[in-house]
Amino acid sequence: MEPPVFLAALLIFVGIPAFTVLRLARLRAARPQSLPADTAERLEAVERRVEDLQQELAETQERLDFAERLLSKAREERRIGS
């Protein structure tokens, strides 16, 4: 994989989720110990959404891996066929 593509993929699939997790951890650490019921429900909804996004990200990474394998295989076949 070419370095710019690898760096972009690394940023997208590692950097952004890591940044999000850190931000959520900071928010959670800074919150008061007793939250109003509405705030707790909203936070739980956000946490569920983050879990959904993590699942979607995992599926996207699997698809990206598959596409990379196909492209690599096609390049290899063209190189051998030339």
Q: What is the pLDDT of residues 41-67, one digit of tens each?
A: 898 999 999 999 999 999 999 999 999
Q: What is the pLDDT of residues 26-42, one digit of tens each?
A: 888 876 667 677 888 89
Residues contacting residue 68 through CB under 8 Å, at least 6 positions apart: 1
Whether 20 and 56 have beta carbons less than 8 Å apart is answered as no
Whether 13 and 61 have beta carbons less than 8 Å apart is answered as yes
Ranked by mean pLDDT, which of 8-12, 23-27, 50-54 comes out on top? Answer: 50-54
How many independent structural domains does the chain possess? 1
Q: In which domain, by residue range, is 58 found? A: 3-81
3-state secondary structure of 34: coil
d(C-alpha 79, C-alpha 76), whole Å = 5
